[in-house]
């Protein structure tokens, strides 16, 4: 596949500005860039879901115009999306059947088994999607893609939902595919993966092609600098001794049923956090993090008052306003429509968390606009929120700037306890580094911080202690310098650190498969 | 030429202001076409409909009288709609308020004095509010859709009124007409000047509009309405209770509709009849949207829709067409204003010509 001078504009924004890229058979080619750099826009044009405004694509030497994804698949271009498109209530086989042209439906079950055996992607065609782990679901997507025998496979941030062990298995599959002369376009912002896996990398920044390089010749710092356009500051963190420090928050046997039946129940969650500590709670998305945030923030109060004790005050059944009044602050994972409202000006967005009568933002129920303007100025300055004019609507800010604003709003409350979910999710590297540094600084000034995150880099950068949530269960809490990434990865996959260490997720899955096959045989 | 709708970065202040004006212009253009298709000179038709009612003192007063209930109800509805609560039953709450307030002059005939009218107002507002709390309670308790329940309760109120004036509340000296007795002078909405038609309802409506404008933009409780309307999740994060807001918004809009109802029967009508409203409660939905859900805008929009009622009567008398034409103009206006509002948040973009690579 060759792309020359590809341009795509959305209104005044040029998402892709004369991008060139060539992919050769048998190569794993990385497409690197921050959020908003134009990676997704570019691959959507290769896959036919968007049309370029200018430029030319050629496929196997001939110029092509890819009109839609079906045509892309016919040509032999497959794509595995970051967000899966699977029907939960259907089986693996049925999901795959739905995506295939009718003629290819013959002997499907056999072909699924062949493909999954060939590539070491254990799959049970009769299993229902709802029962599968995220890693297994991704296998379904990959197998579905491979069944169409593509020559080019586009993978959009495939490891963002995987444990490190699952990611390792995926890399083996990709290497095998490359050895069969298939091209792989691998989109990621994880530099160590790219260094390890890819022979070439194309780096985009703000829609422009910055460089094409061999990632194996670069180091993580030079790659990051190319992505961001400047050196990203390392987070400075002085380890602290937490022995004998008074506890700020004690959680004991916290149980919570999910509100939606797609949610995850919290089961007997217990942990302590010392004053001034940063506790990071790792875990793959969808393992109860949303419920844990709801219970800790008071958005979903729990019936057992004593299951959450904040500075000696049992508060399980109290709502979020009461917890704020006592000195807690919260940053949810989702910025738009949860932590902030896009249609409101920033000064009004402050009122989302500053609405207690003693917050100084209201006088006898009347909004004090001067006070809000002062706060807005102070927050945007302290957190370097960049905007076109003062007090813009929140929707006009980029993801990184809006997240800085939301973080700044809560930090400005000088909380005793700050609970943050995915603080740098979808945020550019510069903003992420600023946010992490602010979190570390805040903890060193005495604030207790709980960070719910699925980003291991982030966790190892800022945490004093780490725990892992998996299927609503919480692991023990470990000091960060006493665990390795691999161990945290095992915990994220639901393993026990005390159990037999040599069992990997793949072996587990394979043994499960064998069990199922024996059952079938019986 | 392919076009597509594209989201604006921020709300367009220009379109917020001009969208209703564009909608009115489009309504007039469609109306002109409509008149032409009926064989009526469009210029004459629009003149009779929209200008002649503004040319006599009598009809100007009538305009104010008709705008008053529309404004009162529209303000209450705007509070609901801003909170994403869909009260469609203001017509029923109007009737409920009229009935509750009329209990005093009809069933407590001996009571006279300056307290009678304030008591009727209080009863009317309470009646409207309580009636509106039925759909609120059903929504909070059972998750029943308030659009359906509030709309269906309109018919309950109307039939109850019908039964009362034909049955227990019929005027014993009324020659068997389905009407209540005429209200005594203490139970009549005070007029602004003697011999006119305008009553104190209009200044009251303007004061309420100013209060509502302050409440919605400047108070923390008014801010809750906006947050709950835009995102229940953000409201939960802010610690605002959606259920309390459902009760509050229904109660306020019901009370204002009830106030409009009692002032109407105690004012221009002066008694209960089987029909006491030409659909004010439904027309006020258009008023609320045409007025940008903004209380000051609603005062202006109230006059525009009141004019559509007068124009309908004028068209019937002068042009010999059904006064149902008023409903047509009202419907056109709602349709156009909703369409134009899209451009507050969106803008048209021409899809760039794609260079075909063959």
In three-state secondary structure terms, A49 is: coil
Q: For B48-63, what is each residue's pLDDT tens digit?
A: 999 988 988 888 999 9
Contacts of A352 in chain B (CB under 8 A): 227, 234, 237-238
Contacts of B351 in chain A (CB under 8 A): none
Cβ <8 Å between B234 and A338: yes
Contacts of A392 in chain B (CB under 8 A): 10
CB of B333 within 8 A of CB of B339?
A: no
The shortest CB-CB distance from A366 to any of B6, B11, B219 is to: B219
Instruction: Please report, to the nearest 10 degrees, the dihedral formed by the alpha carbons of residues B316, B318, B320, B326 taken in order.
Output: -30
In three-state secondary structure terms, A273 is: strand
> How far A344 CA sits from the closest chain B CA (Å)?
9
CB of B51 within 8 A of CB of B314?
A: no
Q: For B100-153, what is each residue's pLDDT tens digit?
A: 999 999 999 889 889 999 999 999 999 999 999 999 999 999 999 999 999 999
Contacts of B30 (CB under 8 A, 6+ apart): B332, B336
Cα–Cα distances (Å) from A57 to A62, A69, A76, A344, in that order, read 8, 15, 14, 42
> How far B154 CA sits from the closest chain A CA (Å)?
34
CA distance A63 to A154: 19
CA distance B74 to B286: 8
CA distance A470 to A493: 7
Q: If you ran DSSP here, which 8-state letter would residue B316 be given?
A: I
CA distance B228 to A27: 52
Cβ <8 Å between B237 and A65: no
Contacts of B225 in chain A (CB under 8 A): none
Q: What is the pLDDT of residue A514?
A: 55
B271 token code pair: 């008694």
Domain boundaries, chain B: 3-350
The shortest CB-CB distance from A57 to any of B352, B354, B357 is to: B357
**Nearest residue of chain B to residue A294 (CA atoms):** B237
Helix (H) or strand (E) holding A328: strand A328-331
Q: For B299-310, what is each residue's pLDDT tens digit?
A: 999 999 999 999
Cβ <8 Å between A337 and B218: no
Cβ <8 Å between B234 and A339: yes
Helix (H) or strand (E) holding A252: strand A247-256
CA distance A377 to A369: 12
Exposed / middle / buried, residue B348 (Cβ in 10 Å: 0-12, 13-18, 19+): exposed
Q: What is the pLDDT of residue A507?
A: 55
For residue B235, pLDDT beyond 90: yes
Contacts of A393 (CB under 8 A, 6+ apart): A342, A343, A344, A345, A346, B9, B10, B11
Kind of pairing, strands A313-314 and A308-310? Answer: antiparallel
For residue A8, how many C-alpha atoms fall within 13 Å in the half-sphere facing its CB? 24
Interface test with B, best of A2, A66, A352 (most B CBs within 10 A): A352
Cβ <8 Å between A9 and B357: no
CA B60 to chain centroid: 19
Residue ranges and CATH numbers for the domains of chain A are: 2-228 (3.40.50.300), 245-327+415-522 (3.40.50.300), 337-414 (no CATH)
Q: If you ran DSSP here, which 8-state letter would residue B351 be given?
A: P
**Nearest residue of chain B to residue A389 (CA atoms):** B10
Q: If you ran DSSP here, which 8-state letter would residue B237 be given?
A: H
**Contact residues of A toward B, CB < 8 A:** 9-11, 51-57, 63-65, 297, 299, 319-321, 324, 330, 332, 334, 337-341, 343-344, 348, 351-353, 355, 361-362, 365-367, 369, 392-393, 395-396
Q: Please list the pLDDT of chain A residue by residue as tens digits (522 residues).
A: 899 999 988 766 788 999 999 999 999 999 988 767 888 889 989 998 888 999 999 999 899 999 888 889 889 999 988 777 888 889 998 988 887 777 667 788 888 888 888 887 888 888 888 888 777 888 888 888 888 889 999 998 888 777 778 888 889 989 999 999 999 999 887 777 888 889 999 998 888 888 888 988 888 778 878 887 776 777 888 888 888 889 999 999 999 988 766 678 999 999 999 999 999 999 887 788 999 999 999 999 999 999 999 999 999 999 999 999 999 999 998 888 899 998 899 999 999 999 999 899 999 999 999 999 999 999 999 998 888 888 999 988 877 889 999 999 999 999 999 999 999 887 777 888 899 999 999 999 999 999 999 888 889 999 999 999 988 999 999 999 999 888 888 888 777 766 544 445 555 555 555 555 554 544
Question: Can you name the residues that pair with B35 across neighbouring β-strands?
Answer: none
CA distance B65 to B75: 16
Contacts of A319 (CB under 8 A, 6+ apart): A298, A301, B239
CA distance A59 to A57: 7
Interface test with B, best of A293, A391, A395, A419 (most B CBs within 10 A): A395
The shortest CB-CB distance from B237 to any of A51, A54, A320 is to: A320
> How far B344 CA sits from the closest chain A CA (Å)?
12
pTM: predicted TM-score of the whole model, two decimal places: 0.78
Contacts of A334 (CB under 8 A, 6+ apart): B233
Cβ <8 Å between B355 and A57: no
CA A251 to chain centroid: 26
Reference B20, options B283, B211, B284, B288; nearest CA is B288
CA distance B187 to B266: 7
> How far A375 CA sits from the closest chain B CA (Å)?
16
Q: Does B231 touch chain A (CB under 8 A)?
A: yes
Edge-to-edge strands of the sheet including A2-10?
A62-64, A54-59, A2-10, A13-22, A208-213, A200-205, A28-32, A183-188, A152-156, A77-80
The shortest CB-CB distance from A367 to any of B223, B230, B354 is to: B223
Reference B263, options B60, B161, B123; nearest CA is B123
Contacts of B278 (CB under 8 A, 6+ apart): B309
CA distance B85 to B83: 5
Most distant pair of Cα atoms in chain A: their distance: 76
Q: If you ran DSSP here, which 8-state letter would residue A481 be given?
A: G
Residue length of chain B: 358
Q: What is the pLDDT of residue A383?
A: 92
Contacts of B10 in chain A (CB under 8 A): 392-393, 395-396
Q: Output phi, psi for A324, to 5 deg.
A: -65, -45
Q: Does B10 touch chain A (CB under 8 A)?
A: yes
Q: Output phi, psi for B350, to 5 deg.
A: -75, 130
Mean pLDDT, rounded, for B20-27: 92
Reference A82, options A138, A130, A120; nearest CA is A138
How many other CB atoms are found less than 10 A from the CB of residue B80?
Answer: 29
CA distance B146 to B143: 8
**Nearest residue of chain A to residue B6 (CA atoms):** A11
B305-324 burial by CB neighbour count: b if 16+ within 10 A, else e? bbbbbbbbbbbeeebebebe
Cβ <8 Å between A53 and B226: no
Q: Output phi, psi for B91, to 5 deg.
A: -60, -40
Cβ <8 Å between A365 and B230: no
Contacts of B344 in chain A (CB under 8 A): none
**Nearest residue of chain B to residue A340 (CA atoms):** B234
Q: Output phi, psi for A310, to 5 deg.
A: -115, 115
In three-state secondary structure terms, A102 is: helix
Query: Three-state SS across A289-315?
Result: HHHHHHHHHCCCCCCCHHHEEECCEEC
More confident of the two residues A181 and B356 = A181
In three-state secondary structure terms, A277 is: coil
How many other CB atoms are found less than 10 A from the CB of residue B130?
Answer: 17
The shortest CB-CB distance from B236 to any of A52, A299, A341 is to: A299
Q: What is the pLDDT of residue A355?
A: 93
In three-state secondary structure terms, A485 is: helix
> How far A64 CA sits from the closest chain B CA (Å)?
6
* Residue bearing tokens 């506890």: A247
How many other CB atoms are found less than 10 A from the CB of residue A229?
Answer: 14
A87-105 burial by CB neighbour count: b if 16+ within 10 A, else e? eeeebbbbbbbeebeeeee
Q: Does B219 touch chain A (CB under 8 A)?
A: yes
CATH topology of domain B3-350: ABC transporter involved in vitamin B12 uptake, BtuC (1.10.3470)
> What is chain B's mean pLDDT, rounded?
91
Q: If you ran DSSP here, which 8-state letter would residue A128 be given?
A: B
Contacts of A56 in chain B (CB under 8 A): 357
Cβ <8 Å between B233 and A338: yes
Reference B162, options B274, B320, B42; nearest CA is B274
CB of A98 within 8 A of CB of A87?
A: yes
Cβ <8 Å between B354 and A366: no
Q: What is the pLDDT of residue A120?
A: 79
Residue length of chain A: 522
Q: What is the pLDDT of residue A131?
A: 81
CB of A272 within 8 A of CB of A249?
A: yes
């Amino acid at each position: 596949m060759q792309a020359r001078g590809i341009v795509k504009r959305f209104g005044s924004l040029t998402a892709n500005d004369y991008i060139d890229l060539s992919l050769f058979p048998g190569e794993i080619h990385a497409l690197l860039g921050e959020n908003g750099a134009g990676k997704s826009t570019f691959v959507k044009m290769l896959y036919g879901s968007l049309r370029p405004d200018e430029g030319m694509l050629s496929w196997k030497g001939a110029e092509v115009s890819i009109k839609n994804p079906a045509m892309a698949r016919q040509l032999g271009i497959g794509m595995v999306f970051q967000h899966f498109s699977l029907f939960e209530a259907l089986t693996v086989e049925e999901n795959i059947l739905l995506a295939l042209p009718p003629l290819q439906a013959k002997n499907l079950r056999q072909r699924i088994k062949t493909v999954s055996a060939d590539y070491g992607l254990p799959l049970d065609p009769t299993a229902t999607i709802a029962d599968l782990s995220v890693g297994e679901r991704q296998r379904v997507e990959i197998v579905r893609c491979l069944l169409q025998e593509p020559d080019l496979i586009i993978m959009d941030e495939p490891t963002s939902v995987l444990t490190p062990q699952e990611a390792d298995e995926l890399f083996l599959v990709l290497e095998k595919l490359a050895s069969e002369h298939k091209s792989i376009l691998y989109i990621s912002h994880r530099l160590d993966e790219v260094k390890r896996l890819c022979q070439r990398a194309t780096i985009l920044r703000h829609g422009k092609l910055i460089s094409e390089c061999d990632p194996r010749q670069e180091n993580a710092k030079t790659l990051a600098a190319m992505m961001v356009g400047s050196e990203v500051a390392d987070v400075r963190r002085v380890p602290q001794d937490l022995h004998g420090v008074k506890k700020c928050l004690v959680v004991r046997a916290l149980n919570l049923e999910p509100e939606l039946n797609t949610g995850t129940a919290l089961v007997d969650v217990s942990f302590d956090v010392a004053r001034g500590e940063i506790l990071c709670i790792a875990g793959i998305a969808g393992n109860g993090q949303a419920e844990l945030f709801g219970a800790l923030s008071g958005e979903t109060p729990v019936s057992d008052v004593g299951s959450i004790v904040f500075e000696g005050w049992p508060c399980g059944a109290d709502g979020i306003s009461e917890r704020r009044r006592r000195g807690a602050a919260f940053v949810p994972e989702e910025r738009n429509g949860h932590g902030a409202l896009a249609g409101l000006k920033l000064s009004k967005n402050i009122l989302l968390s500053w609405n207690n009568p003693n917050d100084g933002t209201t006088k006898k129920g009347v909004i004090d606009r001067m006070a809000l303007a002062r706060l807005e100025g102070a927050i945007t300055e302290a957190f370097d929120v960049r905007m076109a004019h003062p007090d813009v609507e929140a929707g006009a800010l980029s993801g990184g700037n809006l997240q800085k604003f939301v973080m700044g709003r809560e930090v400005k409350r000088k909380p005793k306890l700050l609970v943050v979910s995915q603080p740098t999710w979808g945020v550019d590297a510069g903003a992420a580094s600023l946010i992490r540094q602010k979190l570390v600084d805040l903890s060193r000034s005495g604030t207790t911080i709980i960070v719910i995150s699925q980003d291991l880099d982030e966790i190892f950068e800022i945490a004093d202690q780490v725990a892992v949530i998996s299927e609503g269960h919480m692991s023990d809490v470990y000091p960060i310098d006493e665990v390795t990434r691999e161990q945290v990865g095992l915990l994220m996959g639901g393993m026990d650190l005390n159990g037999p260490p040599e069992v990997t997720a793949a072996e587990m899955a394979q043994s499960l498969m064998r069990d199922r096959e024996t059952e079938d045989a019986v | 030429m392919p076009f597509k709708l594209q989201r604006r970065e921020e709300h367009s202040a220009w379109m917020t202001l001009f969208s209703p004006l564009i909608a009115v212009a489009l309504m007039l253009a469609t109306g002109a076409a409509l008149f032409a298709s009926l064989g009526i000179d469009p210029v004459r038709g629009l003149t009779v409909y929209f200008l002649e009612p503004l040319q006599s003192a009598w009809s100007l007063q009538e305009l104010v009288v008709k705008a008053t209930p529309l404004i009162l109800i529209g303000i209450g509805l705007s509070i609901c709609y801003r909170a994403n609560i869909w009260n469609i039953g203001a017509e029923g709450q109007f009737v409920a308020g009229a009935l509750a307030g009329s209990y005093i002059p009809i069933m407590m005939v001996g009571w006279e004095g300056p307290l009678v009218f304030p008591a009727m107002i209080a009863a009317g507002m309470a009646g409207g509010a309580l009636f509106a709390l039925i759909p609120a309670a059903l929504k909070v308790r059972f998750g029943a859709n308030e659009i359906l329940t509030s709309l269906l309760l309109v018919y309950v109120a109307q039939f109850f009124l019908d039964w009362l004036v034909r049955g227990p509340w019929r005027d014993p000296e009324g020659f068997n007409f389905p009407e209540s007795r005429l209200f005594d002078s203490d139970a009549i909405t005070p007029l602004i000047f003697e011999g006119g038609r305008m009553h104190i309802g209009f200044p009251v409506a303007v004061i309420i509009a100013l209060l509502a404008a302050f409440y919605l933009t400047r108070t923390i409780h008014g801010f809750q309405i906006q947050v709950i309307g835009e995102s229940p999740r953000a409201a939960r994060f802010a610690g605002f209770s959606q259920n309390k807001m459902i009760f509050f918004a229904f109660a306020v809009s019901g009370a204002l509709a009830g106030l409009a109802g009692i002032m109407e029967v105690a004012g221009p009508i002066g008694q209960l009849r089987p029909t006491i409203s030409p659909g004010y409660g439904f027309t006020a939905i258009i008023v609320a949207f045409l007025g940008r859900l903004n209380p000051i805008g609603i005062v202006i929009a109230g006059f525009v829709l009141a004019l559509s009622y007068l124009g309908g009567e004028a068209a019937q008398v002068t042009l010999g067409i059904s006064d149902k034409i008023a409903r047509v103009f009202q419907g056109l206006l709602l349709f156009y204003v909703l369409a134009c509002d899209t451009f507050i948040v969106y803008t048209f973009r021409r899809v760039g010509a794609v260079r075909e690579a063959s």
